[in-house]
């Protein structure tokens, strides 16, 4: 179905060639500071055409709030938000209808939905993630009020073979957004940007990894069996189109897994637990930063080189705010779930 | 919460030191061939004490079906199954209550649940996965009737630094179970078994990876946005205690991600699509085998070496049927969801 | 929350004084014939100002489909529909903010949501039922394709002390809509309409009952324990603002309940089962027509007589399509649920 | 499905002729005082054979808690409880398999579930309500800790044509249980008991009504659109086998609905709002007592008079604790839902 979350629920809708994309956010309590600008600012970070390394397609992506907000605060009722599609060109469909695009799910969709729509309803498009950014912006507003110490930040940590060193604690979105590649390391960012421009010119594409970090989480969020924090985030991230893997913990997790347990779990020099848990133990946040590495396939490229300028050669920079949004939605839901469990001694 | 699935729902219960573990399976339609033996056979594959390389703890793990089955078939009503705990020794608790075990979630649980129970209700125990194997056995019985071509098999593909080559299509559980390590490669299996015995003797532990493969899935299972097949499996697997990552597709996915898209997506020599999608495109099964690599941390070892014989130095061999069970539960749910969507041209 | 249904899910949003009302329908399979006109026709039956006996408030209630429909058929993706509010006058709020309206939930809402919005976000308004009519129109389109024999019809069976005789099987919406009161009995309809005009002139209001009938249901819809057909409909109907009771079965159910079981359950002269079950046995449809009597309170009247012309003195005529919509949503969901349970001998 | 509730979830299982009945309660937070005795005491109030006016069937109905409780308190993990069936006689089935019982759902079940089990899996039996009483007992323990002012009481207010006057506020379960009929009015109780004995002797049965009252609810429980308090209770009560209607508000609601709104809503002499709302306004509790009248059909009687002694001629006395249990489950869920919505000005 098209709803994400249990208590903080985001329902998304919209086809990339239809009239509008949107989301309905249910479960946001009353009194959370919220305006159109808050949501628009979040959407602007995802919008195409932000720099030379993204698609040249023009979409203003202006959001309109239809319900749930009054005089700058949430009402406690469902918040509906829509973005009109400006650049939907139905004349393209006849051509597309005649062939399946390599690397795309066109055939699979047709077998599943049995319909004539050549693009599977347009829900396969990365444009669908716009709805998630809306949900994430509202989740962040809620978290900001309820758990002000919690901070979510994501960055591009790998593109093709180029890998950035792990940034220190306290990394901010401003630091990430300072680079078109959203890689916060100056040297690697420059290499990545050159690499993406080269791929763009060649009609090629690049994959890689984004790392997501949640600093300052309360202790004990999550559920012990189903609904572990790991499981909630893994579900959230692998639900984004091109994602093909997740790994919790340090960047060199694969290497560390080759170590025996006595070394893997060895406490740090200062006596605190090892830094291998990615902030999650027994399914619950342990109070340390949660960190996840998210793997992305390179996008399937279009066979038609004439359209080469209209696709993203590397979706990772624009996927950063999408993963941040998914994270905020997960933590908003976890937070409300925790309130619904008044455990007492 | 403690329920997994939407239409095929498995609710698990039980603490490792309490009277019993169990599960209630709701949503299994009537007429599925089911007996106590079917479930017991599945549980026997997970049971401790199967070989020298697992824990020496003795648990018969005899299952009793309390409802939902009549004369060898499911009734269409909830199926409740329980397994009594034989080896629960409450006298151990006083000692445990006084200290948090390193690498365990004891402190986190105490902060979350605020209770006196020293082991967080015993739900952190790996023994909880017994309930999942019950659910998986029933899911497999349903799938066997509904989608007989679908086959789920998992194997140990890595322990510590030892990595097995990828087995050919058609690998069977009999071939996997032929080795105590559940690694189907004779040579690597022997190394792994020696390595685990060594760790056991040293009071140490080992992590690694299990690969799960689903052969013969129908085309088009899954949901396009939330509820992608990837997301459902990632949720299922990262919900198992020691799992710290998943990667969909070929075993060398990390290496392939460094390639540009034109190479990554390049069709195979015979013209069929590239083998990089792990059987999932646009969130849906594409009809090819689904394959996932699941990463496991080494278990946190007990500080008390006197108990060294009573823990699993490497949980991977016993986790194989647990991941198979989670997979079966996911696919049973996906199958019923598909039936509930009568798409027509 | 604001979602109705499990597999056919309708999420509603919108405040009566906000920019728009709307709904997102998720779970409608692909290929169902659907157009803007289908939904608009349903909304027109609920629209204010249809006759002298309803409110004089003017609302065009023009619907726009934003997603999920393409070339006259559903896509299998979420269907979002909105209706702009034309007659929202924010200048009224300052006045309303200063006093709680008798018979209204103003105080209760303020204590729950703690916000400044004087009308609890405007979700208490009967205008919210517009979203349900949208959901119902789409549910009916699905049912029409899947279960063409099923027909839902409701009528006003009581207003104040005036009670209409039970209409024969086969009653159509055309017959019901022939009277502004939506009471299909010519004589009683005339009395009811006079009675409503009298109440309107006096600034008074009237309650009564609507009877809902579902002819031609398949045998065996519903769930045996929770989710009985009775329970699903009772939930659906008592979720409409002024409803204060439901009774399944014949119009004279209360009288029949005073009879002993041997008389109550006595089969009809032709040997068929008694007509007392309201079409539901053991929680499931038994194939006969399902019939429910739904009780409505008179609306709470405004203390300000100057506004007397702008409220509905009797909401029952306009509530008829709302209850039909709720019924269609329930049966669409029951139908999909049944498909998801492939029971076999 | 077989789960009731969103945050306080009760999953029931068991066939009346199978090994055991039971329930799993998920969502009960840690630290709620709970023992086997608490649950057993609740079950004893429902148990058959309590007096001459109920069935002569003997069932000890001894409950066993399998999980979720430790040293007299809930653990915050799922609570599983089972009751073994002692009086299941499989030899009766051959006879029953050959004929459908009049007034029973045998035929409907067979068409739905397509199985050989002559009693539809035994889930149609009133014995299934045992599981609900378990869930209710735990819900009450939670409510007692969280909302100590809230009190749930139900009583038999009508049997056949005999109607009891409305008891004053503060009615206790002790007062209700003082009469085998669970009618708290001495005179009417005596008539009812004579009437039931007469029906029992004649192999006949009786229906009627139970009134449920919730005193001391917090203001603002419930949801404004779907999930109104009315809807939650209507769903809960009509989900009990023989229930065929509900009416919220005063006992004479049907008569009051014939009044115009100015009279219906007229405030009481002391200026407080009219007593017509049944404690619910705008879908939310308004702080006054919630009151609901629940209508019951007479049970379908067995054609075999030899078994007359083994059925309940009037199930209402034993249904009183079942409706109380459903009420407690609804309010426990509403309470946890409210905690999950931290509305702020």
Closest chain D C-alpha to A334 CA, distance in angstroms: 10
* Residue D307, pLDDT score: 53
Q: Do B208 and A261 touch (CB under 8 A)?
A: no
Contacts of A131 in chain C (CB under 8 A): none
Q: Are C150 and C267 in contact (CB under 8 A)?
A: no
Print pLDDT tens along chain A (345 aa). 999 999 999 999 999 889 999 999 999 999 999 999 999 999 999 987 777 777 766 678 999 999 999 999 999 999 999 999 986 555 455 555 556 766 677 788 788 887 656 555 578 788 999 999 999 999 999 999 999 999 999 999 999 999 999 999 999 999 999 999 999 999 999 999 999 999 999 999 999 999 999 999 999 999 999 999 999 999 999 999 999 999 999 999 999 999 999 999 998 899 888 889 889 988 899 999 999 999 999 998 654 544 545 678 999 999 999 999 999 999 999 999 999 999 998
DSSP secondary structure letters along C246-257: EEES-TTHHHHT
User: Residue B89 pLDDT > 70, yes or no?
Assistant: no
Contacts of A8 in chain C (CB under 8 A): none
Dihedral, A227, A229, A232, A235 alpha carbons, nearest 10: -120
Tokens at B312, concatenated: 């699993």
Q: What gap in Å lies between CA B192 and CA B183, rounded to an integer?
A: 8
Q: Do B226 and A3 touch (CB under 8 A)?
A: yes
The dihedral of CA B328, B333, B338, B340: what is its sign? positive
Q: Do D71 and B21 touch (CB under 8 A)?
A: no
The dihedral of CA B30, C235, C250, C217: what is its sign? negative
- D209–C contact, CB cutoff 8 A: yes
Q: Do C206 and D160 touch (CB under 8 A)?
A: no
Q: Do C19 and A64 touch (CB under 8 A)?
A: yes
Confidence of residue D282 (pLDDT cuts 50, 70, 90): confident
Q: Tell which A residues from 214 to 243 touch D, by Cβ distance under 8 Å.
A: 224
- C68–B contact, CB cutoff 8 A: no
* Residue D261, pLDDT score: 94
| Residue in B140, B130, B210 with CA at minimum distance from that of residue B171 | B210
* Residue D148, pLDDT score: 98
From D203, D208, D245, residue closest to C245, measured CB to CB: D245
- D11–C contact, CB cutoff 8 A: no
Contacts of B116 in chain A (CB under 8 A): 345
Contacts of D27 in chain A (CB under 8 A): 340-341
Number of neighbouring beta carbons within 10 Å of residue D303: 11
Is residue D111 helix, strand or coil? helix
pLDDT tens-place string over residues A11-48: 999 998 899 999 999 999 999 999 999 999 999 999 87
What integer best gives the mean pLDDT of chain C?
90
* Residue A59, pLDDT score: 75
pLDDT tens-place string over residues B116-136: 565 545 787 889 999 999 999
Instruction: Give the residue with greater pLDDT, D119 vs A166.
Output: A166
Q: Which of A145, A224, A340, A343 to mutate to test the interface with D (most CBs of D within 10 A)?
A: A340
Q: Do B224 and C77 touch (CB under 8 A)?
A: yes
Contacts of C122 in chain A (CB under 8 A): 77
Of all residues in chain B, the one with the smallest CA distance to D20 is: B66
Q: Helix (H) and strand (E) counts for chain D?
A: 10, 14
| Residue in A302, D4, C233 with CA at minimum distance from that of residue B3 | D4
Task: Residue count of chain C, please give it.
Answer: 345
Cα A223 to Cα A331, B65, B100: the distances in Å are 12, 27, 20
* Residue A306, pLDDT score: 47
Q: Tell which D residues from 125 to 184 touch C, by Cβ distance under 8 Å.
A: 128, 158, 160-161
User: Residue B77 pLDDT > 70, yes or no?
Assistant: yes
Q: What gap in Å lies between CA A106 and CA A118, rounded to an integer?
A: 7
Q: What is the mean pLDDT of residues D232-249?
A: 96
Least confident of C77-86, D50-59, D328-337: D50-59
* Residue A49, pLDDT score: 73
* Residue B96, pLDDT score: 54
Q: Do D342 and A29 touch (CB under 8 A)?
A: yes
From D124, D253, D258, residue closest to C282, measured CB to CB: D124
Of all residues in chain C, the one with the smallest CA distance to B334 is: C340
Can you give the three-state secondary structure of chain A, one letter per residue? CCEECCCCEEEEECCCCCCEEEEEEECCCCCCECCHHHHHHHHHHHCCCCCCCCCCCCCCCCEEECCCEECCEECCCCEEEEEECCCCCCCHHHHHHCCCCCCCCHHHHHHHHCCCCCCHHHCCCHHHHHHHHHHHHHHHHHHHHHCCCCEEEEEEEEECCEECCCCCCCCCHHHHHCCCCCCCCHHHHHHHHHHHHHHHHCCCCECEEEEEEEECCCCCCCCCECECHHHHHHHHHHCCCCEEEEEECCCCHHHHCCCCHHHHCCCCCCCCCCCCCCCEECCEECCCCEEEEEEECCCCCCCCHHHHHHCCCCCHHHHHHHHHHHHHHHHHHHHHHHHCCCCCC
Confidence of residue D116 (pLDDT cuts 50, 70, 90): low
Full-model pTM: 0.95
Of all residues in chain C, the one with the smallest CA distance to D229 is: C239
From A3, A261, A278, residue closest to B299, measured CB to CB: A261
Q: Do A246 and B228 touch (CB under 8 A)?
A: no
Our measurement of the distance from residue A316's CA atom to the centroid of its chain's CA atoms, rounded to an integer in Å, reads: 10
The end-to-end CA distance of chain A, in Å, is: 39
Instruction: Give the residue with greater pLDDT, C2 vs D55.
Output: C2
- B30–C contact, CB cutoff 8 A: yes
Contacts of A146 in chain D (CB under 8 A): 342
Is residue D65 helix, strand or coil? strand
Contacts of C78 in chain A (CB under 8 A): 2, 11-14
**C37 phi and psi angles, rounded to 5 deg:** -65, -40
Half-sphere exposure of residue D128: CA atoms within 13 angstroms, side-chain side: 27
* Residue C308, pLDDT score: 47
| Residue in B341, A39, A28, D285 with CA at minimum distance from that of residue C337 | B341
* Residue D306, pLDDT score: 47
Q: Do C29 and B337 touch (CB under 8 A)?
A: no
Q: Do C78 and A30 touch (CB under 8 A)?
A: no
- D75–A contact, CB cutoff 8 A: no
* Residue B306, pLDDT score: 47
Q: Do C224 and B77 touch (CB under 8 A)?
A: yes
- C341–B contact, CB cutoff 8 A: yes
From D120, D233, D295, residue closest to C257, measured CB to CB: D295
Contacts of B117 in chain D (CB under 8 A): 70-71, 75
Q: What is the mean pLDDT of residues D13-37?
A: 96
Q: Are C129 and C46 in contact (CB under 8 A)?
A: yes
Closest chain B C-alpha to D24 CA, distance in angstroms: 8
- D71–A contact, CB cutoff 8 A: no
pLDDT tens-place string over residues A66-107: 999 999 999 999 999 999 998 655 545 555 555 676 667 778
Least confident of A212-216, C279-283, D39-43, D327-331: C279-283
Of all residues in chain A, the one with the smallest CA distance to C65 is: A19
Confidence of residue D118 (pLDDT cuts 50, 70, 90): low
Contacts of D297 in chain C (CB under 8 A): 257, 264, 276
- B1–C contact, CB cutoff 8 A: no
Per the listing, tokens 């299909």 go with C184
| Residue in D274, D246, D264, D267 with CA at minimum distance from that of residue C206 | D264
Q: What gap in Å lies between CA C316 and CA C297, rounded to an integer?
A: 10
pLDDT tens-place string over residues C193-216: 999 999 999 999 999 999 999 999
* Residue B157, pLDDT score: 98
Of all residues in chain B, the one with the smallest CA distance to C26 is: B341
Contacts of B340 in chain C (CB under 8 A): 7, 27, 336-337, 339-340
Closest chain C C-alpha to D338 CA, distance in angstroms: 9
């Amino acid at each position: 179905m098209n709803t994400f979350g249990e208590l903080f629920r985001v329902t998304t809708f919209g086809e990339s060639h239809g009239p509008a994309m949107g989301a309905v956010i249910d479960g946001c309590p009353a009194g959370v500071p919220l305006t159109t600008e808050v949501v628009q600012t979040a959407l602007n970070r995802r919008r195409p055409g932000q720099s030379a390394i993204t698609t040249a397609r023009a979409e203003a992506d202006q959001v309109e709030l239809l319900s749930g907000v009054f005089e700058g605060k949430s009402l406690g009722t469902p918040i509906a938000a829509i973005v009109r599609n400006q650049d939907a060109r139905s004349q393209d469909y006849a051509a597309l209808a005649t062939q399946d695009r390599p690397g795309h799910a066109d055939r699979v969709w047709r077998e599943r939905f049995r319909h004539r729509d050549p693009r599977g309803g347009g829900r396969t498009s990365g444009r669908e993630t716009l709805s998630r950014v809306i949900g994430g912006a509202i989740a962040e507003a809620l978290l900001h009020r309820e758990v002000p110490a919690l901070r979510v930040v994501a960055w591009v940590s790998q593109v093709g073979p180029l890998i950035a060193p792990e940034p220190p604690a306290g990394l901010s979105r401003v630091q990430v957004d300072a680079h078109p590649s959203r890689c916060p390391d100056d040297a690697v960012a420059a290499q990545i940007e050159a690499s993406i421009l080269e791929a763009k010119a060649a009609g090629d594409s690049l994959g890689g990894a984004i790392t997501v970090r949640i600093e300052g989480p309360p202790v004990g969020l999550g559920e012990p069996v189903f609904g572990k924090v790991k499981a909630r985030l893994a579900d959230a991230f692998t639900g984004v189109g091109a994602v093909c893997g997740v790994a919790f913990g340090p960047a060199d997790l694969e290497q560390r897994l080759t170590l025996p347990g006595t070394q893997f779990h060895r406490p740090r020099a200062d006596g605190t637990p090892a830094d291998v848990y990615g902030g999650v133990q027994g399914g619950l946040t342990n109070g340390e930063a949660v960190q996840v590495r998210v793997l992305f396939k390179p996008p399937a490229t279009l066979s038609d080189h004439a359209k080469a300028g209209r696709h993203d050669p590397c979706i990772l920079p624009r996927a950063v705010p999408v993963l941040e949004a998914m994270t905020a939605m997960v933590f908003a839901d976890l937070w409300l779930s925790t309130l619904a469990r008044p455990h007492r001694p």
